[in-house]
Amino acid sequence: MMRSLKNLGNYRDLLVERLASSPQLCINYVSEALADEDAGVLLIVLSDVIDAHGGIKNIARQSGVPVRKMQQIFKEELPLDITTLAKIIRAFGWSLLIKQAEKVAKKGHSETAKIQAKRKGTKGKSISPGALLPAKSNDTRSQPCAAKKS
């Protein structure tokens, strides 16, 4: 049964409630915002996740970033610098992981295939870039972010 928009209440309140109940959803939400490469989107998403983690005062206390500075950042009076972002991310209990972008990775694998083909004397034969990739693993250390277990 569909609920009317009137009965949904405030969308942001529902979003923050969902984020508060799902650490993985928070991680995915912030990861997508970072991938978007739009500082405005990142600020909106971080604001939602901060609220889900108890608000600016709580995250400021945990991160060591002054409340006033965080307020200025989210009012876009100050830019969000990488040091402050890293402190906020750590306050969520996460870490940042830098990895090769997909389109760069595909090009890199293609180059690797060419080099390996030359070394093995298979010049002219087709090598699938996928064959050069290691098997998928359940190792969580390769995940972009990991929520701190309470």
Q: What is the pLDDT of residue 102?
A: 75
Greater confidence (129 vs 76) lies with 76
Integer Cα distance of 27 and 84 in angstroms: 17
Question: Could you tell me the two tokens for 103?
Answer: 């389109």
Question: Could you tell me the two tokens for 80?
Answer: 């969000």
Q: What is the pLDDT of residue 111?
A: 53
Region 126-142: mean pLDDT is 39
Cβ–Cβ < 8 Å for 118, 112:
no
Query: What's the pLDDT tens digit per position in 98-113?
Result: 888 776 544 445 554 5
Integer Cα distance of 36 and 46 in angstroms: 13
Cβ–Cβ < 8 Å for 48, 16:
yes
- Assessment of whether the complete model's pTM goes beyond 0.85: no
Which pairs with CB-CB distance under 8 Å and at least 24 residues apart come from 84-87? 87/63
Q: What is the pLDDT of residue 23?
A: 95
Residue 124 Rama label (left phi>0; alpha psi -120 to 50; beta):
left
CA distances from 93 to 5, 59, 63, 131 (A): 34, 11, 10, 36
- Domain map (residue ranges) of the chain: 1-129+142-150
Task: Give the chain's mean pLDDT.
Answer: 76
